[in-house]
Amino acid sequence: MQLVCPAGNLPALQAAVDAGANAVYAGFRDQTNARAFPGLNFSDEELRCGIRYAHAKGAKVYLALNTYPDSVRLAQWHAAVDKAAEFGCDAIIAAEMGVLDYAARTHPDLARHLSVQGSATTEPALRYAFERFGITRAVLPRVLSIQQVERLCERSPVAIEVFAFGSLCIMVEGRCQLSSYVTGASPNRHGVCSPAKFVRWDEFDDGSRTARLNNVLIDRFQPEEPAGYPTVCKGRFDVGGEIFHALEEPTSLNTLELLPRLAQAGVVALKIEGRQRGVAYVGSVTRTWRAALDRYQANPESWALQPDWQRTLSGHAEGHQTTLGPYHRAWH
């Protein structure tokens, strides 16, 4: 299986490649990708440099063009597709049909992956994207059980990639309304769940902190409590007089224990979430998954989950806790 790792900037790309990533995914410094934070992503020259670096070490570069343009700005996404082809990207990762259609017509030799933002969870949906836009791979949304993933792998006309580690999304991928309700800015039109211009942190004399999004109180943190970036879904709310994570607790998906089953199902690529995370995260998580994959590929029958792998991954997880999420549930 291919290990696909995040590259929020050039140092992260280099760290991922050096740590054993088979491929990295990156975005331009604009709203064509779903991690449009200030200070992240790539200029044209940085992406060219990153592609040269990755290719020199045998790794691939996928360009994330996974947001939804409106008709007025569609030309910006078309121009990004043109650059991906010109610069030598190995594939684009796209969700919007107009972007996929333009890429298929204009650059037929540029591989097209259906983004997780495309929310394809059935064989007919995958077949439509394959027949209409010539996709070669689809990234499945993080809402399916392991049994559903296995069934899709059996029936899909294209290769299947799944998220293996990182942040979860409680919405159907690409269809979040929570942040846009608070900020008025659509995550899929502005490239980020909580645009930085709406975020405000306040620190008090006792060391406690509050996080607000467009002046709405999202969370309050005690002096020694880890504080994550404020998103509505992971905030704490007063519900019936009790304050708790009413929608989703801060936790990260970790499917490492499912690695043999995912491999046997025919999953071709494991994706690490986290283009907004730092170089240390990218390097450490990539090395851990590389070690696990190499050991499995060397001897599948004797593969066993190692405690030190889990400790490392838990240290990089949101809230320092991990979950199998929808991969494991009692109902299907």
- Half-sphere CA count of 224, side-chain side, radius 13 A: 0
Q: In what helix (H) or strand (E) does residue 288 lie, and over which residues does it extend?
A: helix 279-298
Annotated binding-site residue? 233: yes
Q: Rounded CA gap, 68 and 250, in Å?
A: 26
Ligand-binding site membership of 49 (annotated)? no
Helices (H), 19-137: 44-56, 74-87, 97-106, 123-133
∠ Cα 320 229 169 (to 5°): 75
From CA 214, how far away is CA 48, in angstroms rounded?
Answer: 36
26, 29, 31, 36: CA torsion to nearest 10: 70
Please indicate if the annotation marks 169 as binding a ligand: yes
d(CA 191, CA 319): 24
Q: Of 183, 182, 219, 220, give the one whose Cα is nearest residue 204.
A: 220
- Which residue positions form the known binding site for [4Fe-4S] cluster? 169, 176, 193, 233
Binding residues: 169, 176, 193, 233
